[in-house]
Structure formats: structure tokens, C-alpha cells
Structure 1
Amino acid sequence: MQDIIIDETFEEEDTQKGRFLTFTLGNEVYGIEIMFVTEIIGIQMITEVPQLPDYIRGIINLRGKIIPVMDVRLRFNKKPKEYNDRTCIIVVDMKEISVGLIVDSVSEVISIQEEDIIPPPELNKYSNRYIKAIGKAGSDVKLILDCNKLLNDEEAETIYGL
């Protein structure tokens, strides 16, 4: 009898395929592939670090690990909004570092079938730089972020050097 080896990483990735954590910024609903998300925490004390871009609010200490936090509203050139009890930090792994994404509120984890995910329309070369795809969930539309494009290599290197 031949041994069967199951690749657990494949199994884990397969169960996460098509699953997205949804969150809101104003009236828009965005989604992040669940495989990037490590945890969701409430807003907490942020230590400012000088000479970083405005959208990088600073750093937090998460159980002994220092994590830079990005205000996604500011990254998307939206008006700043006062943080409240619904404001969350989604901790994601991107470009081999952990980054906290500050969002207005977290909604839910949803599944979107592959056939319901389409590329974003080409309006101009900058309009969709952070949007990987558009997901159709019933009559709703979710803008699916490309986590790897939220920071370019130079920005990631600057943040990693904190």
C-alpha cells in the first residue's frame, strides 16, 4: 500500500479560495482575500513616527510585535474620518511584512464564486491601481483590493526599516 501525503498548505489555500473579508470605507464595500488577513482588532493607541507618508498613521505594539498601521481612507485619497468604536484594524501580511489597515468597519467574510469575479474597468492608469477585481455578491458589488499594491517596494522598505 502506498502512503498518501496531503499537502496541508494546499488544503488551507484551497479552503480560502474565493473567500473575502469585507469592510467599509464610507459608502463603498471592499474585500480582501482572506489568505492575507491574520487578525482583526479594534482601534488602539497608535504611536506616530516622524517623516512617514500621511497615510501611515504610525505603529502599534501587538503582543510584542511592532506593526505599522495604514489609514486606508487616506491611502485612497478620501477625506479623513474621526475614529470611533466601529473603526477596526485589519492586520494583513503583504510583501513579507505585517501591516495594519485602518478601516471604517469590518462587515463579514463572504464567498464569491470565480465566475462572479471580473477585472475592474480601465478608466485610467491610476484609478484602479489598488483594485484587483470586482466581485458580484447577489445584487451587491465588492471592490476587491490587491494587498500587494497597497505599498510599493520603496514604501515597504521604508516601513520595514522602522
Structure 2
Amino acid sequence: MSNFAEQSKDLQVVVFSLDNQLFGLDITLVSEIIRLEKITPIPNAPDYVEGIINIRGNVIPVISLHSLFNINTEGWNENSRVIIAETGDLKFGIIVESVYEVRKISQEAVRPAPAAVIAGQEYIQGIILDGDDLIVLIELDKLVSGQDLQEVKSIL
């Protein structure tokens, strides 16, 4: 029984990069990871909404963390991916420069984010220290407001 209790403390985190910085997202919130395809822009959408994509007949809004975190981007390339994530009844894509792996991280490795250091602090669940790597763990529920995505859906 104690073995199960120890395992339940571990997080499975999808590790990806933006501007050579590592970020992570709890894998239980990820439904799939796809290659970056054509994104159709939406007029009057919030700045961080890149547009929409069609996945097997489903129209999914795609957001850019670059806009939310004030991170520079040099454009997208063959390594760029879209992480399809779900929280509550919201499903959306997140453009990332590349996806590296899924890592098992112990809960003890997650530290609170330093208050003055990170832009987009409200979107950060914590900082993961994993060996020499520093991974910013994203809080998906706070990443986009349901109201913003509902507005995007209403435009469609």
C-alpha cells in the first residue's frame, strides 16, 4: 500500500520549450500532441489567440504562450507542435516550439514560483527542479479564461 501512496505523489509532465526555456503541463490535461498545421486567424480575438484549427471535424482555438508570457518567438519550424489540452469543458491548442518528453516528477520537486521573477505569474503552478533542469509548470485552468474562449466560439 505504501508503494501506491508513493506513486500517487508523482506527476507525469509533458515537457516542452518556448524560447529555449522549459515548461511543463500535467499530462492528465493533454489529449494529444500534433504537428503544427494551418491556423486560421480569427478577427477580434484576444491577442493570445492565434486562431483556430480543424481536428477531425472539430474546430479548436489555438493560443500562443508567447503572447501571454511576453516571450519572443523566431517563428515556427518543423519541430513546432500543438498540444491539445482540456480543462473543464474547454478544449484548445497551445503552440510550442518543440515537445521533448514526458517526465515523472515527484510532488516534492515542485516549488512555488518566485513572485518577482516570472512574467505571467498568475499562469504558473510552480517551478520544477529536475536535475539541472528548471521547468516552469503551467496552471492550465488559469491559462485562458472560459469567457475568452466562449467569445472565440461565438465568433465562429
Same fold (TM over 0.5): yes
Q: Which of the two has higher C-alpha Rg?
A: 1
Give the SS at the match of 1:31: strand
Q: Of residues 140, 143, 147 in structure 1, which corresponds to 2:136?
A: 143
Identity of aligned residues (%): 31
Q: Of residues 119, 138, 148 in structure 2, which corresponds to 1:155?
A: 148
Q: What corresponds to 2:13 in structure 1?
A: 20
Deviations 1:40-92 (A, max 9, x none): 00110111111002221111110011000011112212223311101100000
Q: What corresponds to 1:133 in structure 2?
A: 126
2:131, 2:42 → 1: CA distance? 42
Q: Higher strand fraction: Structure 1 or Structure 2?
A: 2
1:122, 1:139 → 2: CA distance? 21
Cα distance, 1:48–1:127 mapped onto 2, change above 3 Å: closer
TM-score by length of 1: 0.84
1:149, 1:93 → 2: CA distance? 12
- TM superposition shift of 1:98: 0.9
- TM superposition shift of 1:15: 6.8
2:118, 2:127 → 1: CA distance? 17
The reply on whether 1:77 has 2:70 as its aligned counterpart is yes
Root-mean-square deviation (Å): 2.2
The reply on whether 1:122 has 2:115 as its aligned counterpart is yes
Show structure 1 runs of 5+ residues with no match. 1-10
* Greater mean deviation of Cα atoms: 102-111 or 112-121: 112-121
The reply on whether 1:59 has 2:55 as its aligned counterpart is no
Which structure's relative contact order is higher, taking Cα pairs within 8 Å and 6+ residues apart? 2
Count of residues in Structure 1 that have an aligned counterpart in Structure 2: 150
- TM superposition shift of 1:115: 1.2
Show structure 2 runs of 5+ residues with no match. none
TM-score by length of 2: 0.87
Contact 2:19–2:73 (Cα < 8 Å) also in 1: no
- TM superposition shift of 1:134: 0.9
2:27, 2:133 → 1: CA distance? 19
Give the SS at the match of 2:122: coil
